[in-house]
Amino acid sequence: MFTNGEPPVLLGHNEGANPVEFLLHALAGCVTTTTVLHASARGIKIESMSTELEGDIDLQGLLALDASVPAGYESIRIKLDIRADCSDEDLDDLLKLAQQHSPVCNTVCRPVPVTISRAGK
């Protein structure tokens, strides 16, 4: 079970991560898992790996204060600190493959139709 929360500025009490923070966590977890999976398939032993994510979001979009501002992230940056028993070129290729084949990254990086409807309608 996940506890969803928001900061006080968004009428919450910081009782848990908010949805956009969960999105970053899901993205980091999926990119990391995909990297490990494809490293193993290529015979690359990962010695250590950690991720750091940053995203730019303008609350004017969420709050409908400016129609020109997107309601979600305008950009996301993932920094992987990865050490493995392979060349830098092999690591770069591995990370490109992980970005292309991570289901969460793939979903976030391309337009995906989403339908919202009321139950029973």
Residues 30-44: tens digit of each pLDDT = 999 999 999 999 999
pLDDT at 9: 83
Q: What is the pTM of this model?
A: 0.87
Q: Over the stretch 2-23, which tens digit does the pLDDT of each residue have?
A: 888 988 888 889 999 899 999 9
pLDDT at 3: 86
Place of tokens 């995909």: 34
Environment class of 36 (CB within 10 Å of its CB; exposed 0-12, middle 13-18, buried 19+): middle
Closest CA to 73 of 87, 58, 94, 83: 58
Give 61's Cβ-side CA count (13 Å radius).
10
Q: Quickly list H helices, the chain.
A: 19-41, 59-62, 88-101, 103-109
